[in-house]
């Protein structure tokens, strides 16, 4: 590439033209009889060629290349482009090529992400439609039965009104969860971080879910609550919701007479909170999509268990709003463990 630097290119091209002109001069005017004149002629032709070519390259070629380079930088970064001071003319073209190759890779990845998002969007709309239709059609069926005369039957009217009420409660729950996710994704939900003791919060959540757990003969426990006392910084109400959603999930899919453990472990500047059950477990190919909205491992069984299908998606968004992550490990038939981290309070 060093041969094609502007100045070197001008020098060698000028020498070539000067040689051709000198050869013509010698042949036509017998220039060999005047060697000094021939040398002066050669040097003048070479110097003029060098200056013209060098000026042309700089004025009409490399200036346009610089302009193209600036425009590419501006389009790529969204700000006014500039040529680094250590970037020489002959280095601009390879740099442009490198930028365009990298840019093409980025755009291809962006297109792939957009296609993936389009698939998720279609799935999401289909899932929302299905989740809403189920309680709507149920409510509609009960109301039509009552309107067709069931209202007069004292053994039917109260029962059907109660079932319709449950369907309405399910609709409200879906809408509320969708609103929470929308606020989390849009950054509208403002965190109110404060210091609290995580094991104490876990015990409070367990106490609030004790009746639901007893219905399935499942025991909820904090492992060594006194030894694992840790003060963390976060939005206590949102972390409470995270624990509630994870424990409710473990109750739904846990086995009867099983046990769910909440464990708090010290990780230096962070605290790791684990929620582990000994339930049915999840197949590995489902794990990457487990936190998607409305994603269900076993759709028919999941809907029978109730819930909106949004609980784990809400958990993920709450942890991301805290700048933390949540992970999941599971072995089919042996149980599932969710883990998330929180910063220690200083």
The pTM (predicted TM-score) of the whole model is 0.60
Query: What percent of the chain stands above pLDDT 70?
Result: 79
Q: CA-CA distance, 67 to 78, in Å (whole number)? A: 16
Check pLDDT > 60 for residue 313.
yes
What's the CA gap between 75 and 266, in Å, rounded?
Answer: 47
Confidence of residue 46 (pLDDT cuts 50, 70, 90): confident
Rounded CA separation 26/106 (Å): 59
* pLDDT at 7 > cutoff 80: no
For residues 126, 294, 321, 107, the Cα torsion angle rounded to the nearest 10 degrees is: -50
Residue scoring higher pLDDT (37 or 284): 284
Per-residue pLDDT tens digits for 103-150: 788 888 888 888 877 776 776 677 677 777 878 888 888 888 888 887
Lowest average pLDDT, out of 1-5, 47-51, 320-324, 326-330, goes to: 1-5
Question: What is the structure's pLDDT at 3?
Answer: 46
* pLDDT value for 1: 44
Mean pLDDT of all residues belonging to the chain: 79
The pLDDT assigned to 79 comes to 52
Q: Specify the 3-state DSSP secondary structure of 190.
A: coil
pLDDT score for 340: 94
Give CA separation, 19 vs 13, 35, 193, 247, in Å: 10, 14, 80, 88
């Amino acid at each position: 590439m060093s041969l094609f630097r502007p100045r070197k290119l001008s020098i060698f091209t000028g020498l070539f033209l000067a040689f051709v002109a000198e050869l013509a001069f010698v042949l036509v005017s017998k220039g060999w009889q005047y060697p000094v004149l021939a040398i002066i002629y050669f040097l003048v032709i070479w110097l003029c060629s060098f200056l013209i070519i060098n000026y042309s390259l700089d004025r009409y070629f490399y200036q346009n290349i610089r302009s193209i380079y600036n425009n590419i930088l501006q389009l790529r970064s969204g700000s006014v482009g500039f040529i680094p001071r250590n970037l020489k003319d002959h280095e601009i073209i390879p740099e442009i090529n490198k930028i365009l190759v990298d840019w093409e890779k980025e755009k291809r990845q962006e297109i792939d992400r957009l296609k993936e998002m389009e698939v998720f969007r279609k799935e999401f709309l289909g899932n929302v439609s299905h989740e809403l239709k189920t309680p709507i059609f149920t409510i509609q069926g009960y109301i039509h039965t009552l309107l067709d005369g069931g209202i007069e039957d004292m053994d039917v009217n109260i029962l059907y009104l109660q079932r319709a009420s449950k369907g309405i409660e399910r609709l409200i729950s879906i809408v509320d969860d969708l609103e929470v996710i929308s606020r989390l994704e849009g950054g509208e939900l403002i965190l109110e971080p404060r210091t609290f003791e995580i094991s104490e919060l876990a015990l409070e959540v367990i106490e609030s879910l004790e009746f639901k757990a007893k219905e399935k003969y499942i025991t909820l426990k904090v492992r060594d609550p006194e030894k694992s006392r840790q003060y963390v910084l976060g939005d206590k109400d949102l972390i409470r919701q995270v624990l509630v959603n994870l424990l409710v999930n473990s109750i739904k899919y846990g086995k009867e007479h099983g046990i769910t453990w909440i464990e708090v472990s010290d990780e230096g500047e962070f605290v790791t909170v684990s929620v582990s059950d000994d339930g049915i477990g999840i197949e590995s190919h489902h794990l990457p999509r487990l936190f998607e909205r409305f994603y269900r491992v076993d759709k028919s069984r999941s809907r029978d268990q109730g819930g909106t299908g949004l609980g784990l998606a809400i958990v993920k968004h709450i942890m991301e709003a805290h700048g933390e992550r949540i992970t999941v490990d599971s072995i089919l038939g042996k149980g599932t463990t969710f883990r998330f981290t929180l910063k220690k309070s200083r």
